A = this chain, B = another copy of it.
Amino acid sequence: MAATDTVRILLPGNRDYEIRIGSGLMDERSSWQGLPKAGAAVVVSNETVAPLFAERLRSQLLSVYPRVDLVVLPDGEQHKDWASLNRICDHLLGEAMDRRTVLFALGGGVIGDMTGFAAAIYMRGVPFVQVPTTLLAQVDSSVGGKTAINHPLGKNMLGAFYQPERVIADLDTLDSLPDRELRAGLAEVIKYGPIADAGFLCWIEDNLDALLARDKAVLGYAVRRSCEIKAEVVGQDEREQGLRAILNFGHTIGHAIEAGLGYGAWLHGEAVACGMVLAADLSQRLGLMPAGFVARLRALIERADLPVQPPKLGAERYLQLMRVDKKAEAGEIRFVLIEELGRAGLHAVPDALIAETLAAHGAA
């Protein structure tokens, strides 16, 4: 894939932005031109990603900004917390960075969420750019302006809707991605099929081997199509008043698995993959989808070597964790369920039915 694909997120109030997808974008001058002017830029990254890309990004940014700092955080979902967020803010304040300062999130979903949240609150808002280096961040978390940190009592519980200036998804950064993380990212790619595009689900089934083999052209299409679907949904419902919730297919149980096991035990994509299997099962139990769909989705997730078997936390613990889910209301747990292939909706599900699904999968 030589060409650069561009997907545009359309938002009111002059906040449109571009997602650029392609090989070699990190080293392309144009990736970093036309961004807000500032006296300084700050690259936020983690201990794993910084050694790989931080100096390359810095040298590019130094052609645009007089000063480029680097803040390196510990790696992992378990560090997506107040302490890490404060390290970003402490650096900005310690260096007397003004409110034109541009932040660059160089890394996966955790770095993107934390850097975006820091940008949202530093001096009540400074501009930021997403430079996602994992498949999961390129297809999902870097796009759409959800930022957050975790709280011991729930995932992404403190955060803001805050849009980046641009997203630069350099496919070459995926070359160094561990297999486990690539597969975790595929979970979010798979997600877009059942919720929005039956044809895309078929395409993933047909191209899964090429995706796992990191065929650049196939990966490029997967990233672009995922971003197109997300852009359309976010453009219609930026602040998750309704439609946007469908992007959380698999996330209700997924978040409970992550919080229940302790953040970092399972990767986010792994938890979402397993959560989709159980949400598909709930869709069937509510008579929305046939058994064939559940088997099909489960088979695809198994082929991607992602978990289909939830950890045995007990039904009570699962229910307790899910009641603090952001989609819950008045104590009622709500799931994104598939209504037909390519269409999803939010459904309140009785505790007893959730317990049945959990028991059927050995989680209770």
> Chain B residues with Cβ under 8 A from A12's Cβ?
13
CB-nearest residue of chain B relative to A154?
B93
Asked whether B86 lies within 8 Å of A329 as measured between CB atoms, the reply is no
A287 within 8 A of B: no
A96's contact among B100, B124, B324, by CB below 8 Å, is which? B324
Distance of A343 Cα from B331 Cα, bound (Å): 52
CB-nearest residue of chain B relative to A147?
B124
**Shortest Cβ distance from residue A66 to the other chain B in the assembled complex, whole angstroms:** 9
**Shortest Cβ distance from residue A194 to the other chain B in the assembled complex, whole angstroms:** 25
Interface centre among A100, A146, A153 (most CB of B within 10 A): A153
Q: Tell me how many chains of this kind the complex includes.
A: 2
A160's contact among B90, B96, B125, B146, by CB below 8 Å, is which? B125
Given A124-B146, A146-B124, A330-B39, are A157 and B96 neighbors across the interface (CB < 8 Å)?
A: no
**Shortest Cβ distance from residue A140 to the other chain B in the assembled complex, whole angstroms:** 16
Asked whether A121 lies within 8 Å of B158 as measured between CB atoms, the reply is yes
User: A residues near B, CB below 8 A?
Assistant: 12-13, 39, 82, 86, 89-90, 93-94, 96, 98-100, 120-125, 146, 148, 151, 153-154, 157-161, 239-240, 323-324, 326, 328-331
29 A-B residue pairs with Cβ-Cβ distance under 8 Å, sorted by A, are A13-B13, A39-B331, A82-B82, A89-B157, A90-B153, A93-B153, A93-B154, A94-B153, A96-B323, A96-B324, A96-B328, A96-B331, A98-B330, A99-B329, A100-B330, A121-B158, A121-B160, A123-B159, A123-B326, A124-B146, A124-B148, A124-B159, A124-B160, A124-B161, A124-B239, A124-B240, A125-B161, A125-B239, A160-B160
- Given contacts A124-B160, A125-B239, 16 further A-B pairs with CB under 8 A are A13-B13, A39-B329, A39-B331, A93-B151, A93-B324, A94-B153, A96-B323, A98-B329, A100-B330, A121-B159, A122-B157, A123-B159, A123-B326, A124-B148, A124-B161, A124-B239
